[in-house]
A and B are shown apart, each in its own frame.
Chain A
Amino acid sequence: MTKEYKTITEIAGPLIFLEKTEPVGYGELVHINLPDGTTKRGQVLDTSADVVAVQVFEGTGGLNEESGVVFSGETIKLPVSKDMLGRILSGAGEPLDGGPRIVPEDRVDVNGASMNPYSRMPPEDFIQTGISTIDGTNTLVRGQKLPIFSGSGLPHNEIALQIARQAKVPGSDEPFAVVFAAMGITNEEAQYFMEDFEKTGALERAVVFLNLADDPAVERIITPRMALTAAEYLAYEHDMHVLVILTDITNYCEALRQMGAAREEVPGRRGYPGYMYTDLASLYERAGVIKGLKGSVTQFSILTMPGDDITHPIPDLSGYITEGQIVVSRELHMKGIYPPINVLPSLSRLMNSGIGEGKTRDDHKAVSDQMYAGYAEGRDLRGLVAIVGKEALSERDQKILEFADLFEDRFVRQGRDEDRSIEDTLQVGWDILSELPVALLTRIDNKYIEKYHPAHKSN
């Protein structure tokens, strides 16, 4: 299949249309030879006996009807190898670090196949990130997909890096790797990640895919797929526990929208394609643990919410697919609290299977629930105090109001390099809860109060 066609009849945005081809497969990889000698790559979007539509990754700039089109006869594949570790690749999988090409152990379709639900092992291994608002109240487990919902200008990158540095499964030293995929982030942001990876030596056990802000948007559509393909390969062929960081999902979705518009599709909410849920699911669902295999893929992606709006289609559809979300709050950030994670809208759905006796500690759930209840009520009371003044509050309510402050100041706030063990986190929890009257601890079984409450422990 090396035949070159010069039958382009139309070029529209990132799309080209050709006629009079041999039968071409749906989703095939396409090489386009430009008159100036450069080549571009693309993918077949629609194929019929009469017309073939191709989406061009690097954009259609410089293309004309003289350009030659070669169909590769196969779908997009990523050459994979264990030697990818330590390498920096482009968003399309080409080496960027001046190193040699990857000598493939295998070539794998980047779209991946869907994991058979019957083969899945429910994730349950607690990952300690050292951050209390995650470990204590929104616990991450191996094989989970738990994104950070943030906003522009908030320290989501710091948080992601702190997690990448600190994440461990206590008591386990199984091989661990990071796959990092940048999608449309700035060069400066990318540098920030790269420097940290280099400084901490993390790069050796990382595979980096970079599609930066000035790289073609269309390429962004395959970047995360490349990254996840590499991750799955390391996890399921080389028994590694892989943490995948995709950033920024919002840029990915913008690229999807752009493609949809170019194809003149009927747009869904706010102009994003109607199939965006399914498309995002084809990324997020590539996380998990397989019965009988040692490795795992955990996703901790970053998404900046346009206008800090959690109901915007990008965070909204993501939230419907991922197993929770960690929400970074501008309000806490302005208060000077790091990490400014607001636990109330945050959630880890797999928390229940990762905590408790034998995993973290028997009182974990109760402590977490009680802190939530107290913090939620305390924040409501802040609203009320603003109107009626603190004096109008009952004694009980004043205590709860103070608890909310304590929670932010001692539980949420921690150092950028402070790596709290789960015991430390729960201890902080009990310390601040003990400032409340015991009768208000309605979510905690008496047996835990007797076992862990500082007032009981001391006597």
Chain B
Amino acid sequence: MKGEIYRVAGPVVTIMGIKPKMYDVVHVGHEGLMGEVIRIEGDKATVQVYEDTSGIKPGEPVVNTGMSLSVELGPGLLESIYDGIQRPLKVLQEKMGDFINRGVTANGLDREKLWEFKPTVSSGDSVTGGQTIGVVQETMNVEHKIMVPPTVSGTVEEIKSGKFKVDETICVLADGTEISMMQKWPVRMPRPVEKKFIPKRPLITGQRILDGLFPVAKGGTAAIPGPFGSGKTVTQQQLAKWSDTDIVVYIGCGERGNEMADVLNEFPELQDPKTGRPLMERTVLIANTSNMPVAAREASVYTGITIAEYYRDMGYDVSLMADSSSRWAEAMREISSRLEEMPGEEGYPAYLSARLSEFYERAGAVKSLAAEEGSITVIGAVSPPGGDFSEPVTQNTLRIVKVFWALDAKLAQRRHFPSIDWLTSYSLYTQGLSDWFSENVAPDWVPLRDNAMDLLQQESELQEIVQLVGSDALPEDQQLVLEICRMLREYFLQQNAFHPVDTYCPFDKQYKLLKAISKYSDMAQAALESGIPMKDILSVESKDELAKVKYEEEFDSALNVVMEKMDKEFAALGGN
């Protein structure tokens, strides 16, 4: 059925003459710009258009596809970079050059590429939704499981083996259903799972303040709010680089083009710490930068999370970074205001909170339909106006997520990175993960960490006094606390993402660093008690040398040298 355009106002187009369903994808205008129905009113429907609408006129034709916005799922997702509606940017470049023009369609998955399909079921087997029927080696380390679409089941009549294109039939069921390596899934609908678990394993990120103080679980949710320039993107990229996860989906949602170019440039060169293979081989990038159409920005997070769910269903641990969820919320606001909807807080639509929680709900540690255990960890950056966390997007996000990494402009300004405020951040997984840490890191990890947190709390109270009277007026044991805290901050919490060694810190190294600081603390305390002057305790050289061991390639031996020296220096001070 054909309709026509009634009105064009920026990304919002009103159409008439057809009767679409909500969320149907339609093509508007002579150029067939892609859009999605977001409101139906009488004989008219409102469409958010994913491309620039300049020059489009009332009266131009509209065609309904009758399908909702979907992504193509199958081999070839990894190593891709897509726009918000899963058009591969590489294909767009081939078709229209360095600038994105409109009206170009491109398949999410390459239709020409041949993939080696190895079946894992035989004819006569009965299969159900989500079950694996064969595998494809998608990249060197990722085995892509070809699954029966969630809504399909039956008996295998025919199953093939060999090289196929994604849309070729590789399996036929007794009822005639043909299955190919590619399936489509509507992005706004979560893919079904058997059940969800409480996440019990940490996502190891190699970032000391995250792993050490505010860990996130695999299958958990975290938010990183912070003013501009405080480190949201660097932190997200660090997580994308170093997390011990199988698959990474990185969504650049309304942010900078150069940042995406950076990832594209860097990820093929960097090694996955787990497999040694290029990071790009486990990564899917979605780039809908700030100057690309807002409606596609709105769609980008759904495109990303659907791809994440697909790999989760194969039994993989997936992490998804959304930078920035605020830009997504703003896209919603912009569309909503064009629809002249009743605005809620700060002009955001009343459904902001519902949309945010629906999105984060798609995270989780699950048992898939095929009884595989997989997870999606969702980490969302939030960009509050003026850095003020009381605004609606931050507040609504904090109501949902379990981990809060609060970035602080003051820390960033003094180049304390990552500038995560240790006093206001929290993780609700800390307790639940304690057993894992005790077993897998060290039995005394938890007390060490708790002690460090306690000291840092004390420091902030002491600092208030120092501001009034100067540090010399404090009793010596409190001066020592201040010094230990300085060490904790500078030696442990500060971590330079751009230092070749320091950028990634294995857990073992985190433990040893914290242990070393704690050892100095213990020895210093004992020395103080036995009457050694504070000045001498503070001028122990090995203490300052400890500052730099984290940068050493040969960390263990460097640390040993320093710690042996520390023993000797304290022995020389006498006292104990």
Contacts and interface: CB of A to CB of B under 8 A. Distances in A.
Interface of A: 23-28, 45-49, 74-75, 109, 111-123, 143-144, 236, 265-269, 274-275, 277-278, 281-282, 285-286, 288, 290-291, 293, 311-313, 316-317, 319-321, 323-325, 344-345, 347, 349-350, 352-353, 365, 369, 372-373, 376-377, 384, 387-388, 392-394, 439, 442, 445-446
Nearest to A375: B414
A274 B330 contact: yes
Contacts of B60: 23
Contacts, number: 217
A325 to B, nearest CB: 8
18 contacts: A46-B7, A49-B59, A75-B54, A114-B291, A116-B93, A117-B257, A118-B90, A118-B92, A119-B98, A121-B261, A236-B98, A274-B330, A274-B334, A281-B289, A317-B385, A319-B227, A373-B414, A384-B470
Contacts of A121: 261
A122 B261 contact: yes
B337 to A, nearest CB: 5
Given A285-B257, A365-B498, A388 B470 contact: yes
B229 A324 contact: yes
A116 B472 contact: no
Given A288-B258, A372-B414, A439-B544, 5 more contacts: A27-B53, A49-B58, A109-B54, A278-B291, A285-B290
A122 B262 contact: yes
Interface string B135-158: 000000000000000000000000
Interface stretch (B8-16, B19-27, B113-121, B215-223): B8-16
B226 to A, nearest CB: 11
A349 B287 CA distance: 19
A366 to B, nearest CB: 10
Interface in B45-94: 52-60, 81, 89-90, 92-93
Nearest to A311: B386
Given A119-B98, A121-B261, A349-B229, A25 B347 contact: no
Nearest to A310: B386
Nearest to B81: A118
B347 A115 contact: no
B256 interface: yes
A394 B471 contact: yes
A1 to B, nearest CB: 11
A439 B543 CA distance: 10
Contacts of A345: 413
B548 interface: yes
B192 to A, nearest CB: 33
Contacts of A281: 254, 289-291
Given A118-B89, A320-B228, A350 B258 contact: yes
- Do most interface residues of chain A lie in helix, strand or loop, or is the interface mixed? mixed
Contacts of A316: 227-228, 385-387
Given A26-B9, A122-B258, A113 B99 contact: yes
Contacts of B57: 23-26, 47
A278 B294 contact: yes
Contacts of A353: 262
Given A116-B89, A373-B414, A275 B334 contact: yes
B260 interface: yes
The 7 closest A-B pairs by CB, nearest first: A48-B7, A281-B290, A311-B386, A392-B470, A376-B414, A27-B54, A120-B261
Interface string B95-116: 0011111000000000000000
Nearest to B53: A26
A48 B14 contact: yes
Contacts of A269: 346, 385-386
A265 B9 CA distance: 13
Contacts of A265: 337
B290 A278 contact: yes
B572 interface: no
Interface of B: 6-10, 14, 52-60, 81, 89-90, 92-93, 97-101, 227-229, 252, 254, 256-258, 260-262, 264-265, 287, 289-292, 294, 327, 330, 333-334, 337, 343, 346-347, 383, 385-388, 412-415, 466-473, 490, 498, 541, 544, 547-548, 551
Given A117-B261, A122-B261, A323-B258, A278 B388 contact: no
Contacts of A119: 93, 97-99
Contact of B257 (A47, A278, A288): A288
A217 B101 CA distance: 30
Given A117-B289, A319-B228, A372-B414, A274 B333 contact: yes
A11 B100 CA distance: 36
A74 B551 CA distance: 59
Contacts of A373: 414-415
B187 to A, nearest CB: 20
B337 A442 contact: no
Nearest to B12: A46
B570 to A, nearest CB: 18
A26 B414 contact: no
Contacts of A349: 229
Contacts of A293: 98
A365 B389 CA distance: 32
Given A117-B257, A324-B229, A268 B347 contact: yes
B222 to A, nearest CB: 20
A278 B334 contact: yes
A441 to B, nearest CB: 10
A320 B254 CA distance: 10
Contacts of B261: 117-118, 120-122
A293 B97 CA distance: 12
A321 B257 CA distance: 10
Given A47-B57, A114-B292, A277 B92 contact: no
Contacts of B8: 25-26, 46-48
Given A25-B55, A277-B327, A116 B92 contact: yes
Q: Pick from B55, B101, B265, B347 the residue with the most CB of A within 10 Å.
A: B55
Nearest to A393: B470
Contacts of A28: 55
> Among the interface residues A265, A277, A321, A439, which one has the most CB atoms of the partner chain B within 10 A?
A277
B258 A114 contact: no
A282 B54 contact: no
A115 B98 contact: yes
A313 B7 contact: no
A49 B414 CA distance: 57
Contacts of B97: 116, 119
Contacts of B547: 442
A311 B388 CA distance: 9
B86 to A, nearest CB: 14
A290 B98 contact: yes
B256 A26 contact: no
